[in-house]
Chain A
């Protein structure tokens, strides 16, 4: 299961990077569309990670921090600030995801 989770984290990281590229290159409409597609797998993965942490105490990460970052990302999306959304995903969220992936 851990290996499967690790792969899911890696896939999500790659998808996020591709999405942020769209925002940085001013392809905003495509970027928001790609981000919309990402939301469901992202929520499913986080739910699995939260449950695993609750059951085993691993991987170590702050659920509140993840929730805060996602809240900021949603605010950026509502404000139609594509670059801010990309920044949050690229530099904050991915950083957290990489730390989690390293523990799996």
Chain B
């Protein structure tokens, strides 16, 4: 990709109509990026040909050009649309800034310009915030004329980012549906731990800079060097993923911290009583059965929005956390946030060893495993067998390692498995010999720098829960009212006794109730709890086709289903909140 950005000549020349047109010459040839007859007319026609969502469109455009096409495109976008503009060449951008006035484009609130080589890494966060499964179908990808010919490799890179993001969106959608109920239930249950729990933000930057963090995952290669890890105890901060705990304890290694991520992680990973006494980095939505077993310090590293709102209220907003799919990804994020300058990965195979998936010769299979098998480069240069979910975790590592390059040295001391690009390969023995010289009492660092909630904060927490209980009561009543109304109109509509001309009024009324519910803190829990029902219902509404009457019938049915689920969720979550008081 870098090659196509070199040795290019950029010119702006007069077109026949007196406007400037952009011309780029590369080793492959000379390309007019606009019409050299009437570039503005061409830009207008180009924009007219695009297929865009009428409202809330998210347009991903490859190439700024000289701004003519972008300006025309913006004329076709509604005020709530977003335009993510990706310019592959810094040289082109510099030329455009010098020769054209594009201030109107740069100041347009809908536009976000990313330039490869300057701020392209922001694309991940941007896609994360702008595109969700509910608006994924409003995405459009467009290419500035000729950019596909001048910068084809850059386009492939841009499209790959978008493709991966779409895979992530739909995976997240399925994950939300699968885990939503457990997330809400766990969060409501685990609120009882909030007064005593610590926060990652309190220990950021508190560990000695020269001490590395060693993240222990449970890949099959862990068996090779687990004994070596004993030498690192007390001279590195050992952070174990929940899946690695049993192997570590079996080898009499007690890590400094454990990490738990999943809302449905089996409690069997915490079957050893020793694991109950290891300080635990957890999300409040982690499996409640594990948190019940766990007896010592719980440290929230990220929080469900419900808790985040409370923590923000008492001025203890948690640090930003970059979500990855696996618990090892989570451990890496935590160590990166804590300020470790050297992070070492072990047991991070992200690949099979024969048929073995985990340390201790364990074989853990997934649904439709055969369809998920694929191959990636191994650390020894040969292809290794892996799974699509592990590839996602691998890609996440590679992306984040790229983002922290120059700030954090990442060492892969797994001694096997998939190649993690950007990580330096070393054996664990080499890592310990080179970097584990400074004594570090991680538990002391935790104790000396962390604190539970103060008395005043506990009182505010109780108030927060009480507010939520009042919201739950109001929600039940409002949802009941919507259900009754929707059912009544449905019946009348079927009997031909209801005029469609009144639908706008009803839609507005339901919209007002929905808006009121969405403002409630308690709704954050209910929203997750009902994902299994609401996601298919909302999808059905978004994709409804047919006559106006048919679409309205879908709208009524979907709202009825959603509000029934809201009522049920409010009833079930209320006792859990009461127990937290």
Q: Hey, which bits of chain A sit against chain B, CB under 8 A?
A: 21, 24-27, 79-81, 83-84, 86-87, 90-91
Contacts and interface: CB of A to CB of B under 8 A. Distances in A.
A80 B30 CA distance: 12
A80 B143 CA distance: 17
Interface of B: 16, 29, 31-32, 34-38, 42, 45-46, 48-50, 143, 145-146, 149
Contacts of B145: 26, 83
A25 B35 contact: no
Given A87-B37, A91-B37, A91-B38, A25 B32 contact: no
A87 B36 contact: yes
B36 A25 contact: no
Contact of A25 (B49, B146, B149): B49
Nearest to A84: B32
B49 A24 contact: yes
Nearest to B38: A91
Contacts of B149: 80
B97 to A, nearest CB: 24
A86 B45 CA distance: 12
A83 B32 contact: yes
B35 to A, nearest CB: 5
Contact of A24 (B29, B31, B46): B46
Contacts of B37: 87, 90-91
B32 A24 contact: no
Given A84-B32, A84-B36, A87-B37, A24 B143 contact: no
A21 B42 CA distance: 9
Given A26-B145, A83-B145, A21 B49 contact: yes
A81 to B, nearest CB: 7
Given A21-B49, A24-B45, A91-B16, 12 more contacts: A21-B45, A24-B49, A25-B46, A25-B48, A26-B46, A80-B149, A83-B34, A86-B35, A86-B42, A87-B38, A91-B37, A91-B38
Most buried by B among A26, A79, A90, A91: A26
A24 B36 contact: no
A27 B40 CA distance: 19
The 8 lowest CB-CB distance pairs between A and B, nearest first, are A25-B49, A24-B45, A87-B37, A91-B37, A87-B35, A83-B35, A24-B42, A24-B46
Contacts of B48: 25
Contacts of A84: 32, 35-36
A81 B46 contact: no
